[in-house]
Structure 1
Amino acid sequence: MTKVVHIITGLNTGGAEMMLYKLLSGMDRRKFDQAVISLIDEGTLGERIKALGIPVHSVGMKSGVPSLGALWKLMRTVRRLNPDLIQGWMYHGNLAAQLSALFFLKRIPVIWNIRQSLYSLKDEKPTTAAVIKLSAKMSRFPVRIVNNSSASAEHHEKIGFCRNKRVIIPNGFDVDRFFPTQEVGNKIRIELGVSDQSIMIGLIARYHPMKDHLNFLQAAKMLLQDMENVEFVLVGTNVDRKNSELMQQMDKIGKKEKFHLLGERSDIAEIIGALDIAVSSSIAEGFPNVVGEAMSCGVPCVVTDVGDSAWIVSNTGRVVPPQNPLALAAACKELIEMGAEQRRELGRKARKRIEECFSLSSIVREYELLYEHILNIRKKEE
């Protein structure tokens, strides 16, 4: 059996973290014995991963501040686990994975995993930008670099990441969990006090400049000027009424009764099921999980033309330029005015595309084949 250790920056709910969870859930337990190391803490996903029967170890590193004690704990944990292969996740996790492999007498193959696009280092925190620059210099050391989108790979290669290590494995979606379900969606509408006659438009994204909530809110304001039967649901970390910056933006729009700020939720599939239209308003993306999840639920999407969003949606929704609320509002209005039956038809096409191109089982198999290929190469070299 192959021992794989995954090293990730943290385990709070996010695209990379959820993809790791889905990968752990789906990989063949007869072939792969897995463990997870979180550099920070166990976050919101630690217990869920443990429930799969997979051990989770946390190093206790403070966010962005690697201490000697935390690094020593990391090295001891990795040595004790004695992996055949180390898979890094996200920038800090990738570097930690590479560093961990140095403390073995035998050569342990390390694979990096990059889950975001990188339009400009200026958009990143100074500490994160420094880690990215260091990663570019060290990118010749991992045996492969997995990107979840072509856009992500190209962006990183432009700033010096090694081109010949590239592997593209898109995000995978559990089509058995994310499926069209009006009954569950109705429960969410009842919870929020939204009538069956209202159009629900949703943005599911953590609060971050890259996600461009302001773009979504400005488009919502334009829609509300033309139609009354529209309500908006915003879900994600820090997307709640405690967020003073977000509330200031909403004060300028007015009609707060039309907006439902739900914060971080675990019932994303159910919330998506209540939507008529899902929106991704981002300035930058790699491969947005929530778009694939909405499509799998049979919900048509309006997305900005960033990362691989347009490729994912294809002809099952609408694509608009980023940072253009007028275009975003117009695309949403077009879907509203086409009527429920045509939206359902787009939703059926969207789900079919996910089933054919991005099912979780096929993506998990791509990771398994990659791991097997790397280990076979290593055996031949020994």
Structure 2
Amino acid sequence: MRILRISTRNYPDIGGPAKQAYLLSKYCSENKIKTINIACKSKNNSIFKNKKINDNFEIYYLPFQAPRSNAGLITRIIFFFKFLTYGFLKAIKIRRKFKFDVIHAHSPFPSGLIAYFFSKIFKLPYFYSIHGTDYPYSFLFHLDINLIAYNSKKTILVSRKIENILNKKFTLKNLCWIPNTIESSDHFHVSTKEERKTLIKKLNLDSFLKANDKIILYIGYMIFLQKVSGMIDFLIAFQNFLKNLKEKEEAKKIKLLFVGEGKYADLLKTKIRELKLEENVILLGKRDDIKELLAIADLLTLTSYIEGSPNVILEAMASNVPCLGTNVGEIKNIIGNTGYIVNPGDIGKIEENLLNFFNLSKIQRSELMEKAKKKVIDHFDINVIGKKWIKLYSQ
């Protein structure tokens, strides 16, 4: 079997679809399935060239980058037509060299549109992965579902809640659910204070963090108001939590790091100043060293109002980091009894669970860390999810 995979980004570029496209292709290639990926070049790939990962896996880069999360409307429109044109021509060129059997496109929908046109011309089946429903414009959402998803062999959803949303709004009989996956063995956590101190310095955070600080990490895009509203909820809960700590000196040692960028980042900055949390909170912006940041974290939080199947929660749990998240998308199913779940906007419960977590004994926290790691390995590792994908392709 030969697969053409289309995604706007590919690892090491940021974003869930980028990582999923890369991991699935790598797994398929290791199981003797030829996989060719089309994606925009990343900022690390300054020279436009193809990349051979192994004998069965190659990435064909387009000669431009995907827009950043805070890009404007005009930039996005230009990118849409560039990706559609260059991507389609690249697919034709690859088709002449490799007679692939299946196309697998990953949202956002320019990838799916190429798969749709290609399937009509060359009579090839295509699969379509929808990674979220947080579209900036509703007409794109309807075009994505009514045209691309409707005509696919199978439309794969990373969250069962997304499946429920689509079943209520549209008449689709080709939906199936497969959660996001991760390569668990690729993640780690520091085991000693000295290791933590060294890594903090390597991350250039030693002016803000100390090795004995308790570190909360919040990673998320700031392009959608529903995501930033969840961050602001967490800030309010965090301030209340610090105020109610009996040991005031202990409060100074609890640090909150926000990672991400987007047009609503200024709302977060304003709220931090308003709540007078500058000593405890820092905005790191976009970072490429997420794995290392998770390795020094005590807790990952994600209290957004909209999510699909967040990679960052899988990555945190694979790094032995317990999570606190809202009951949106696939978060509750992923975290389960290895962390904490609250309803969106429930600031009181966020505060309560912060207190519960930091009141755990060292043994209890270690047990929670191990449970988180084990759940990812047993249910979400690429060696588990990859088999489901190969079975789907084979059908």
- The answer to whether TM tops 0.5 is yes
Query: Match of 1:153?
Result: 163
Query: Match of 2:72?
Result: none
CA contact (8 A) 1:91 1:132 kept: no
- One-letter amino acid matched to 2:222: Y
- One-letter amino acid matched to 1:201: I
Aligned-pair identity in percent equals: 22
Confirm whether residue 73 of structure 1 aligns to residue 95 of structure 2. Answer: no
* Structure 1 position 292, deviation (Å): 1.4
Deviations 1:177-229 (A, max 9, x none): 12333355443434423233321111111213232221222222222223413
Consecutive unaligned residues of structure 2, counting only runs of 5 or more, are: 67-74, 246-250
Query: Match of 1:7?
Result: 6
- One-letter amino acid matched to 2:62: S
Q: 1:189 aligns with which of 190, 200, 205?
A: 200
Give, in whole Å, the separation in 2 of the partners of 1:49 and 1:181. Answer: 35
* Structure 1 position 86, deviation (Å): 0.9
Query: Match of 2:152?
Result: 142
CA contact (8 A) 1:27 1:365 kept: no
Give, in whole Å, the separation in 1 of the partners of 2:115 and 2:359. Answer: 51
Summarize the alignment of residues 73-222 of structure 1 with structure 2, pairs less than 5 Å apart: 73-82=86-95, 83-92=100-109, 93-104=111-122, 107-116=123-132, 118=133, 124-126=135-137, 129-138=138-147, 139-160=149-170, 162=172, 164-183=173-192, 185-190=196-201, 191-193=204-206, 194-208=209-223, 209-211=225-227, 212-222=230-240
SS in structure 2 of the partner of residue 195 of structure 1: coil
SS in structure 2 of the partner of residue 352 of structure 1: helix
Please give the TM-score of this superposition, normalised by the length of structure 1. Answer: 0.85
CA contact (8 A) 2:153 2:174 kept: yes
Query: Match of 2:242?
Result: 224
Query: Match of 1:379?
Result: none
- One-letter amino acid matched to 1:23: L
Give, in whole Å, the separation in 2 of the partners of 1:144 and 1:255. Answer: 47
Give, in whole Å, the separation in 2 of the partners of 1:74 and 1:295. Answer: 35
Give, in whole Å, the separation in 2 of the partners of 1:370 and 1:72. Answer: 29
* More divergent stretch after superposition (332-341 vs 312-321): 332-341
Deviations 1:124-153 (A, max 9, x none): 422xx2121122222331100111121121
CA root-mean-square deviation: 2.6
* Structure 1 position 298, deviation (Å): 1.3
Confirm whether residue 253 of structure 1 aligns to residue 275 of structure 2. Answer: yes
Give, in whole Å, the separation in 2 of the partners of 1:32 and 1:111. Answer: 16
Query: Match of 1:377?
Result: none
CA gap of 1:274–1:21, structure 2 versus 1, over 3 A, is same
Q: 1:358 aligns with which of 361, 374, 380?
A: 380
CA contact (8 A) 1:182 1:273 kept: no
Give, in whole Å, the separation in 1 of the partners of 2:231 and 2:116. Answer: 35
* More divergent stretch after superposition (321-330 vs 64-73): 64-73
CA gap of 1:343–1:170, structure 2 versus 1, over 3 A, is same
Summarize the alignment of residues 189-338 of structure 1 with structure 2, pairs less than 5 Å apart: 189-190=200-201, 191-193=204-206, 194-208=209-223, 209-211=225-227, 212-227=230-245, 228=251, 229-238=253-262, 243-338=265-360
SS in structure 2 of the partner of residue 86 of structure 1: strand
SS in structure 1 of the partner of residue 121 of structure 2: coil
Query: Match of 2:37?
Result: 36
CA gap of 1:244–1:280, structure 2 versus 1, over 3 A, is closer
Please give the TM-score of this superposition, normalised by the length of structure 2. Answer: 0.82
CA gap of 1:200–1:68, structure 2 versus 1, over 3 A, is closer
CA gap of 1:351–1:49, structure 2 versus 1, over 3 A, is farther
CA contact (8 A) 1:97 1:110 kept: yes
CA contact (8 A) 2:302 2:325 kept: yes
CA contact (8 A) 2:28 2:34 kept: no
CA gap of 1:341–1:218, structure 2 versus 1, over 3 A, is same
Deviations 1:11-30 (A, max 9, x none): 44011111112222322346
CA gap of 1:273–1:73, structure 2 versus 1, over 3 A, is closer
Give, in whole Å, the separation in 2 of the partners of 1:305 and 1:28. Answer: 35
- One-letter amino acid matched to 2:241: L
CA gap of 1:263–1:188, structure 2 versus 1, over 3 A, is farther
SS in structure 2 of the partner of residue 335 of structure 1: helix
CA gap of 1:291–1:72, structure 2 versus 1, over 3 A, is closer
Give, in whole Å, the separation in 1 of the partners of 2:106 and 2:44. Answer: 15
